[in-house]
Amino acid sequence: MTKYMPAKFESKWIKNWDKKKIYKTESVKDKKKKKYILVMFPYPSGSGLHVGHVRIYTGTDVIARYFRMKGYSVLHPIGWDAFGLPAENAAIKAKKNPQDLVPRNQENFKRQMKMIGLSYDWDRELSTADPNYYAITQWLFIQFFKLGLLYKTQTPVYFCPFCKTGLAEEEVLPDGTHERCGKPITRKLLPQWIFKITDYGDSLLKTLNTLDWPKGILEMQKNWIGRKEGIEITYDVVQDNEKVDTITCFTTRPDTNFGATFIVIAPEHKFVTKILQGKIKVDKKTKEKVDEYVKKSLAKTDLDRIAEGKEKTGVFTGFYAVNNLNGRKMPVWISDFVLSEFGTGAVVGVPGHDVRDFQFAKKFGIEIIRVVKDKDGNAGPIKDEKDVQEDEGIMINSEFLNGLNIHKATKVMMDYLEKKGWGERKVSYHLRDWIFSRQRYWGEPIPMVYCEHCAKKGISWYSLHKNDVLKKEYQSNTKLYQNITERWGKNSKDMAGWFPIEEKSLPLKLPYVDNYKPSATGQSPLAHITEWTQTKCPVCGRKAVRETDTMPNWAGSCWYFLAFTFWNKEGVVKKKGEQVSRLWANKVKNSVKKWMPVDWYVGGAEHAVLHLLYSRFWVHALNDMNLVNFREPFMKLSNVGMVLAGDHKKMSKSLGNVINPDDVVKEFGADALRIYEMFMAPFDQEIAWSNKALQGAYRFLKKIWQIYHSIDNLTNNAKDEDKDLLAKLQTTIAKVEQDITNVKFNTAIAKMMEFVNEWTNKKLSEQNAKKFLKVLSPFAPFITEEIWQSVFEEKESIHLSTWPKVVIKTTNLRIKIPIQVDGKVRDIITINKEMSEKAVIEIAMNSQKIQKYLKNKKFKYIYIKNKIINFVLLKK
RNA sequence: GCCGGGGUGGCGGAAUGGUAGACGCGCAGGAUUUAGGAUCCUGUGGGGUAACCCGUGGAGGUUCAAGUCCUCUCCCCGGCACCA
């Protein structure tokens, strides 16, 4: 008998499948019979495929293969998330231009993906750094710009001094470090492109419950959006009984407003700016103190703020705000515990019912009033942090609210404040607008130019197009029309002189340059290439300059799932000057309609509020623009757990604990690697690498090899076939099928192992042996193909065959059932599935073991058909 | 602090309220081998010679029957967090 030597045949099949294009996407005939199975595409950065990649790609591959065999048209593509920091940092480290390095990495990834037998349709391979691809990314940028969702403004941003680039909120880790490089982050004031994702907060929240996603991810998105209903209350600010200004505070607890004793505003608040600019007069000493405090807090990094903990700091402005409810004059303080980005950047302090307010009041000797009594009716003074009462209770000391519970009181107060014109109901979000500029080389150039001449004249794209686009396309959708108009109004001043480049000049190519390293100035390396930056104004034809910031890493991945539906080997926008809008209208819309949404998306949970939120946002906006006909891109989502090293640490070069898939395949073959990673644990759980367990997977495959090459296990004569084994085959097929669709690959493989164990000393007909081979094939595509074509001499690939049907014969099946006495198993008997209850009980009662317990006792019994018998002894 | 997910042999993990520990690893004994590795067979939750008893983080409860359902509680992991 030949030995199982995967190296002998695996590479043969790779070539064969490639040549015959057996994984080519079938076109969709019936939308109900299509499956778009997508796995998050990789950054082709460092040293090739990680065993963690192997796990996620194999799992998704199993699903795709299964649906193909079930007769679905399956779209299962892959590409490269080539732009962005990971690739660029790797290139800098290797002292290579990313334009040269990245394609090389891609080739290596591709070789390894084929090596482990992934069934991608390589004709649809795409790269986000391909000009044919980013021509469309840039075009989409322009569409979002036109919708008013993208605008440029001076903003304080998170800035990574190491990567020398601005970052989005989501890229900053809780400890104040950069998600990509782990270095501490500071803030910097930079002109930035801002994506107004907050306008889609409600929209993104609304359809969340239509998604079949892991609960945790849905919760994370919900919390990240963080919708809060509250009210903005505007207070008059007075000095010596004279009104000098107003301050508006956002609160979700207006019910406690009779207990408000002070106002705190963020150091960035405009009232503070007015003081510092002298627009509001204060004495010299106060101004100095305010100035000092503000400077100090703005200089703090996030790390400093965290290190400082909950210790409150602040400075008194000398002003008072008047609470209209009771005429109380509340001192106005400045403190950096108030966030300028949330609500209005101003907080009304209710120290009796908010721990932070309490800490502040306590530290600066401000009065503390109780306006809610707790569950136990406690209405005593609040002296300690423990006494602060934030939860349920009944209102006291609050005039017309007294006696109401806090929820009712909140509503009554809101109505009252609105009626009086002192407040207005508002919704606030935790979600912040998305900073879309990166001061880096390796990204899509932003397709915008700035014309100083037009800027001076106050001409903006919005002012030029006010009457055409907006009116025609969006007027029917009132809410959207209103939003767009509002955004245009807000943006037009900042955006004077900014125009998108003409569509026919897309793609705006990223120039190949020698100096691609980030500069310390906070400017992109592109800013130094004058021949690239200088251009003509598309409006007045005078000299203009290009935007030199690039788009963030996330841009390309926000629509790649749409691209796969129509992409082909040659790229798509290959003819110079081909209009993307025409391409979209003719080709894209149509293919997207056929394939989208993605039926099943697989990826790591780390993208919960990054890629998964950004992509949803793009699709929502594209849907509003009528560029796609659906609102949610990913109907079902599965997560994958990480693959750790054997020591339960993350694999890293510096720790020397990295497992290279190339080595594993060389020694054990791709199938063993696949089976091992699918078998180790449930798919969404993390696993630690174990060479021993890998051996187990290898042994399993070896056993299969032997069985299929042994005349003791196979027969041409159906009569010689073992009937119990045949029955087991049927349950195995059913179980594997069910487990694949439930992402329980581990138990699917366990079941197949069980079947093979039983098979070792029994015979199966060739016809049924082929069925088992098919069931195994999504997991182990190489060995199954080899046996299929060499042992059974089949001419067409097993991967083009159809999934076996389950035929369960129920008659005359012998099964074992336990017999309990008082809930404890005392014996196990064998019965026929069709036996009557009476017959079964008779067998049970004839058991000596059972008789021992029932002798001279009164009892009743409970019989669950084909499951269990329980004899219950009755007390006298 | 808030929101999610979990606690089952020596280990990874199985169990529509119905035989707890499938399957794999490891371990033990045996076969084969000059030896080791590899391979194959048998056994393997704990206690007990045995009959049996005890066992799914802990304490209660519901049920003929609870890892699974309910109440309380402890611990671990992930996310968010000075968000008013």
DSSP A475: T
Distance A687 CA to B11 C1' (A): 12
On whether the CB atoms of residues A421 and A158 are closer than 8 A, the answer is no
**Distance between the alpha carbon (CA) of A712 and the C1' atom of B77, Å:** 49
Q: Quick check: A417 and A423 in contact, CB under 8 A?
A: yes
pLDDT at residue A874 above 90?
no
Burial of residue A516 (CB within 10 Å: 0-12, 13-18, 19+) is: buried
How far apart, in Å, do the first and last CA atoms of chain A sit?
69
Nucleotide nearest to A311 (CA to C1'): B82
Cα gap A380→A396, rounded to integer Å: 11
- Residue A180 CA to residue A85 CA, distance in Å, equals 8
Q: What pLDDT sits at residue A1?
A: 64
Model confidence at A272: pLDDT above 90: yes
- How far CA A493 is from CA of A456, A459, A549, in Å, comes to 11, 9, 20
Looking at the predicted structure, is the pLDDT value of residue A777 above 90? yes
Chain B nucleotides covered by protein, CB below 7 Å: 3-5, 12-16, 18-20, 22-26, 39-41, 52-53, 64-66, 78-84
Find the Å distance, CA of residue A773 to C1' of nucleotide B84.
Answer: 62
pLDDT digits (tens, 9 = 90+) for A778-795: 999 999 999 999 999 999
Residue A172 is predicted with a pLDDT of 77
Q: Which nucleotide has its C1' atom closest to residue A817's CA?
A: B19
Mean pLDDT over residues A10-26, rounded?
96
Place of tokens 């051996």: A695
Q: Closest nucleotide to A739's CA, by C1' atom?
A: B14
Which nucleotide is nearest to A822 if distance is taken from CA to C1'?
B64
Q: Tell me: the pLDDT tens digits for A195-224?
A: 999 999 999 999 999 999 999 999 999 999
Average pLDDT in chain A = 90
Q: Worst-scoring range by mean pLDDT, A177-191, A263-277, A629-643?
A: A177-191
CA–C1' nearest nucleotide, residue A354: B84
How many angstroms is C1' of B29 away from CA of A410? Answer: 75
pLDDT of A677 over the 60 cut: yes
Protein CA at A176 to nucleotide C1' at B18, angstroms:
53
At residue A120, the pLDDT reads 98
Q: Which of A624, A487, A614, A555 is nearest to A151 (CA)?
A: A487
Closest CA to A258 of A328, A359, A321, A360: A328
A795 three-state secondary structure? coil
**How many Å from the CA of A751 to C1' of B36?**
34
Name the closest nucleotide to A869, judged by C1' and CA: B18
Place of tokens 């487990």: A739
Lowest mean pLDDT among A70-74, A468-472, A685-689: A468-472
DSSP A547-560: ---B--THHHHTTH
Rounded distance in angstroms from the CA atom of residue A869 to the C1' atom of nucleotide B22: 22
Using the CA of A700, give the nucleotide whose C1' is nearest. Answer: B24
- The 10s digit of each residue's pLDDT in A236-245 is 999 888 999 9
Pairwise CA distance, residues A270 & A272, whole Å: 5
Distance A843 CA to B53 C1' (A): 27
A167: confidence class by pLDDT, cuts 50, 70, 90: confident
CA of A679 to C1' of B10 (A): 20
Closest alpha carbon to C1' of B66, residue: A823
- Give yes or no for a contact between A869 and A862, defined as CB atoms under 8 angstroms apart: yes
Q: Which of A239, A151, A617, A255 is nearest to A247 (CA)?
A: A239
The CA–C1' separation of A739 and B1, in angstroms, is 39
* A308, closest nucleotide (Cα–C1'): B82
Query: A372 CB contacts (<8 Å, ≥6 apart)?
Result: A255, A256, A259, A352, A353, A389, A393, A394, A395, A396, A406
Query: What is the nearest nucleotide to A429, using C1' and CA?
Result: B83
Residue A560, pLDDT score: 97
Is the confidence at residue A813, as pLDDT, over 80? Answer: no
The rounded percent of chain A whose pLDDT value lies above 70 is 97
User: Nearest nt (C1') to A676 (CA)?
Assistant: B24
What pLDDT, on the 0 to 100 scale, is given for residue A302? 63
Rounded to whole angstroms, the Cα distance separating A873 from A860 reads 7
Nucleotide closest in space to A867 (CA vs C1')? B18
* pLDDT band at A170; cut points 50, 70, 90: low
Q: How far is the CA of A322 from the C1' of B59 (A)?
A: 55
Angle at A641 between CA A636 and CA A645, to 5 degrees: 160
The predicted-structure confidence for A571-616, as pLDDT tens digits, reads as follows 887 665 568 999 999 889 999 999 999 999 999 998 888 999 999 9
Q: How many Å apart are A702 CA and B38 C1'? A: 13
Closest nucleotide C1' to the C-alpha of A231: B84
Confidence at residue A809, expressed as pLDDT on a 0 to 100 scale: 66
Q: Is the pLDDT of residue A306 over 90?
A: no
Minimum CA–C1' distance nucleotide for A679: B24
Number of Cβ within 10 Å of residue A584's Cβ equals: 21
Per-residue pLDDT at A303: 63
Percent of the residues in chain A that have a pLDDT greater than 90, as a whole number = 65
Find all residues with CB under 8 Å of A515, minimum gap 6, and list them: A525, A528
Residue A674 CA, nucleotide B21 C1', distance (Å): 26
Q: Rounded to the nearest 5°, which phi and psi values hold at A652?
A: -150, 150
pLDDT confidence of residue A392? 83
Give the distance, in angstroms, between residue A224 CA and nucleotide B80 C1': 8
- Residue pair A847/A865 in contact (Cβ under 8 Å)? The answer is no
Nearest-CA residue relative to C1' of B13: A681
Residue-level pLDDT at A787: 95
A826 CA, B66 C1': Å apart: 19
* Cβ atoms within 10 Å, residue A383: 10
- The separation, in Å, between residue A676 CA and nucleotide B66 C1' comes to 33
DSSP run (H or E) holding A138: helix A131-146
* Mean predicted confidence (pLDDT) in A509-521: 84
Query: What is residue A836's predicted lDDT score, i.e. its pLDDT?
Result: 87
Q: Which nucleotide is nearest to A818 (CA to C1')?
A: B19
Report CA(A757)–C1'(B42) in Å, whole number: 15
Helices (runs of H) and strands (runs of E) counted in chain A: 31, 31
Task: Tell me if A87 sits within 8 A of A442, measured CB to CB.
Answer: yes
List, for residues A700-742, the tens digit of each pLDDT value: 999 999 999 988 888 888 888 888 899 899 999 999 999 999 9
A818 CA to B23 C1' in angstroms comes to 22
Q: Is the pLDDT confidence value at A177 over 90?
A: no
Nucleotide nearest to A336 (CA to C1'): B82
Q: For the segment A29-63, what is each residue's pLDDT rounded down to a tens digit?
A: 888 899 999 999 999 877 789 999 999 999 999 99
CA A203 / C1′ B68 distance in Å: 38
The 10s digit of each residue's pLDDT in A325-374 is 999 999 999 999 999 889 999 999 999 999 999 999 999 999 999 999 88
For residues A736 and A749, give the distance between their C-alpha atoms in angstroms, rounded to a whole number: 8
Quote the ipTM score: 0.95
Q: What local confidence, expressed as pLDDT, does residue A835 receive?
A: 83
